[in-house]
Amino acid sequence: MNAAKRLEIFRRLHEDNPEPKTELAYSTPFELLVAVTLSAQATDVSVNKATAKLFPVANTPEAIYALGVDGLSAYIKTIGLYNSKAKNVIEACRILIEKHGSQVPDNREDLEALPGVGRKTANVVLNTAFRQLAMAVDTHIFRVSNRTGIAPGKNVVEVEKKLLKFVPKDYLLDAHHWLILHGRYVCVARKPRCGSCRIEDLCEYREKTSND
């Protein structure tokens, strides 16, 4: 895909949604960190239902740490893998309190040192909470990047690096949100909704299927 096509793709995505936001509910970097940690292999809807009950009761490292694993588990038991997630969040809270003055770090190294925080989660926090140029590649973004031809790659790290290289600079900060929303609601896994897609005429998947 050439640069002109990519520019037009993101121009249209921006035009349709000038200020894209994550669908996870949060009001502080710490709430976002907890929500993203809980969202692994779970839907944002299920996480939001759980955190709507949790955050009014406990939304700081100290308050959640005070709940303990069992106390936190009671709030998040509707989410998949809640036992291991509760252990990770409690241990992450301890580290935040002891090493970071209860503040969420704004750098990758310290974020990825927290239990339950991998590269994708760190990228979400860096980009969404701290507005840094970072690209979190989940299943939706991986699919859209490969299917459309925007940034094809064999694994998530390869796609991440290509997106950071190929997405026009003016759109890079919000590209993560546009791509994830596009993958969630339009360029879905089994039957992409090409007929209602704003970038259908620019998409290499559409070109490929038309030529077959």
Active site positions, annotated: 120, 138
Direct distance between the N- and C-terminal alpha carbons of the chain, in angstroms, rounded to an integer: 19
Residue 211 burial (CB < 10 Å; 0-12/13-18/19+)? exposed
- Tracing tokens 């979400």 back to the chain, one arrives at 124
